[in-house]
Structure 1
Amino acid sequence: MRPTALIAEDEPLLAQALCAELQRSWPALTLLPVVADGHSAVQVALQARPQVLFLDIRMPGQSGLEAAAEIAEHWPAGLPFPALVFVTAYDQYAVQAFETQAIDYLLKPVRPERLERTLERIRQHLDRPATTTQPTSDEQRLQALLGRLHQLLEPASPTLPGNASIPTEPLRLVTASVGATVRVVPVEQVLVFEAADKYVRVLTADAELLLRTPLKELLPRLDPAEFWQVHRGTVVRASAILDAVRGDNGKLSLSLRGRPERWPVSRLHEYRLRPL
């Protein structure tokens, strides 16, 4: 079966050049129509399930890192994850992030000789023999990828160009609304911060409040040892976690002391709940 590849690149000339080089260097590779933003990359990748992904780091709406994390989060269990190549203008990524199994990087402008080395790695990855342990090794590769993406997507990560770490005041009090009433809640009483439309739901053991500050602005002000992000829009108090259970669908969910709900845990954040 001819392998397929998806290119996500918002600069038309660079996308056209990469397509031309791929057609020249690997005629057997089928190229899907190029997409120009991260959200489209996620949608097409999950529908078409290509064997190779070329994701630009900087794209409108959603970065290549965020797109890769979302694709990995929803990738069908048991299906080998695509060989993933990031395309970037910043060599910081190359130095610190992408030299690992089935993951590579290309610096802009893409040089033919460097692309040849990348394609050789991809072909070796796709041609590896299937064994009885293949599903396990594929899942291990996916978990390793998710762990790497988690590190890179941390707030104010020093590996991201332009995201210099800026000291922020730790969050001690939450001023939020309950109907027409404004309440001041000590942060040590909060069990869950959950993104909801334009608000953040703030849950304690006996109350639900609405906060107008976006979750991404709250995260740098929360103690990462005490508050764990378990899903894109959910942060829970680690000391309140009662248990974590994997359901029949393979998805992990957890319960908290003081709350009746169960909270889904994304693949990206499962590493926090692995047994020591």
Structure 2
Amino acid sequence: MTNTTESTAAPRAVLADDERLMREQLRARLAEAWPELQIVAEAKNGAEAVELVEQHRPDVVFLDIRMPGMTGIDAARQIAQMDVGDEGFLPEIVFITAYDQYAVEAFEQGAVDYILKPAERDRLKLTVERIVKRLAARQAADEGGGSNGAPPPAQPLQQLLHKLASQGGVKPAYLKWIQATVGQSIQMIPVDEVLFFISDEKYTRVQTPQVEALIRKPIKELVDELDPERFWQIHRSTLVAVDAIASITRDFRGRQIVAVKGHPQKLEVSRSYTHLFKGM
């Protein structure tokens, strides 16, 4: 929950681009368009960006899409998977791109914003206005304990990242079978039958209407291997089949709870994923 000190603090950002001149230009343009913003760290690649975001927990992350090694999209995936406990931390993400009309079209539909290289003042001003509005809505929701009219993203962040990662029209090959341990045997479980996945420190539980099994693959890997149209991440440790969702209610703490069709398990939705269920 945001306290009074945090609510009055200046917004903080991490900037990641492998080109030093581009970082300098963007920093200068941001100082013009958003003078309150503090650039707390800069990264030269995706891996460095992930490390700095985990260290500083900024409000906004500016990520160049094409960086050597880990791309901006891969970095955003890892940021979205950070173990944040009950804090609900998930920074606003702004991608930096020099081209890719397909990507730009995806951004216009998604939960993130974008900046075209070189950073034009008018377009950057629009991006800043959108981010400021989102941050204000999130702060109001934290303080008021509700959505307060905050506009939910048009699609989950993970869906957008999958879409960006498959630029050029090549559809990813998603998992169709899960090889899992059931008792003393190994079974091949069709993904179509899975109701949900729940991870702990060592194993991930695979639940179907008839079978409960264990695998060693963590949720952050499954997110990239399962069709995001069919499986939604609702918690850092939970994926649920969209078709298996029976209803969403709120508990006494105000947390969203997913009821699963044909199964007694109740699945908690963490604050970072409440946007999946609009109007709740």
Normalised by the shorter chain, which TM-score bucket?
Answer: 0.5 to 0.7
Determine if contact 1:57/1:65 at 8 Å carries over to the other structure. Answer: no
Q: Give the letter aligned to residue 15 of structure 2.
A: A
Q: What secondary structure does 2:268 align onto? A: strand
Tell me which residue corresponds to 2:4: none
Q: Kindly indicate whether the alpha-carbon contact (under 8 Å) linking 1:228 and 1:235 is maintained by their aligned counterparts in 2.
A: yes
Q: What is the match of residue 185 of structure 2? A: 181
Distance between the aligned counterparts of 2:76 and 2:23, measured in 1? 18
Task: Provide the rounded CA distance (Å) in 1 between the counterparts of 2:259 and 2:130.
Answer: 43
Q: Does 1:105 align with 2:100?
A: no
- Partner residue in 1 for 2:260: 256
Which residue number in structure 1 is paired with residue 160 of structure 2? 152
Aligned-residue Cα RMSD (Å) equals: 4.9
Equivalent positions of 1:232-247 (< 5 A) are 232-247=236-251
Contact 1:6 1:31 in 2 (8 A): yes
**Cα-to-partner distance string for 1:220-271 (whole Å, 9 max, x where unaligned):** 4x982xx554345533344543432223544312233554432122456546
Cα deviation per residue 1:173-206 (whole Å; 9 max; x = unaligned)? 6442235322344556533233556754222345
Question: CA contact under 8 A between 1:57 and 1:88: conserved in structure 2?
Answer: yes
C-alpha contact (below 8 Å) 2:61/2:91 kept by paired residues: yes
Structure 1 position 85, deviation (Å):
3.4
Matched, 1:89 2:98: yes
1:211-250, aligned counterparts within 5 Å? Answer: 211=215, 214-216=221-223, 218-220=225-227, 224=230, 228-250=232-254
Secondary structure of 1:245's counterpart equals strand
- The alignment partner of 1:144 has SS state of coil
Change (3 A) 1:8 1:121: closer
Q: Does 1:40 align with 2:51?
A: yes
**1:119 partnered with 2:125:** yes
Unpaired runs of at least 5, structure 2: 1-7
Q: TM-score when scaled to structure 2?
A: 0.62
Write the deviation string for residues 129-166 of structure 1: whole angstroms up to 9, x where unpaired.
x99xx75887523x126x26354134xx2674367215
Name the amino acid aligned to 1:144: P
Aligned equivalents of 2:275 and 2:9: distance in 1? 35
Please tell me whether the aligned partners of residues 3 and 28 of structure 1 are also in contact (alpha carbons under 8 angstroms).
yes
Q: Which residue of 2 aligns with 1:6?
A: 13
Q: What is the CA–CA distance in structure 2 between the aligned matches of 1:7 and 1:197, rounded to whole Å?
A: 29
Letter in 2 for 1:7: V
Q: SS where residue 243 of structure 1 aligns?
A: strand
Aligned residue for 2:150?
A: 140
User: How far, CA to CA, are the matches of 2:244 and 2:33 in structure 1?
Assistant: 54
Q: Is the 8 A contact 1:240 1:256 kept in 2?
A: yes
1:94–1:105 CA contact under 8 A, matched in 2: no
3-state SS, counterpart of residue 165 of structure 1: coil
Q: Give the number of the structure whose alpha-carbon radius of gyration is greater.
A: 1
Q: Does 1:192 align with 2:196?
A: yes
What residue ranges of structure 1 are gaps of 5+ in the alignment? none
Q: Is 2:213 aligned against 1:202?
A: no
Aligned pairs, how many? 255
Give the 3 Å change call, closer, same or farther, for CA 106–83 of structure 1 in structure 2. Answer: same
CA distance, structure 2, for counterparts of residue 119 and residue 190 of structure 1: 45
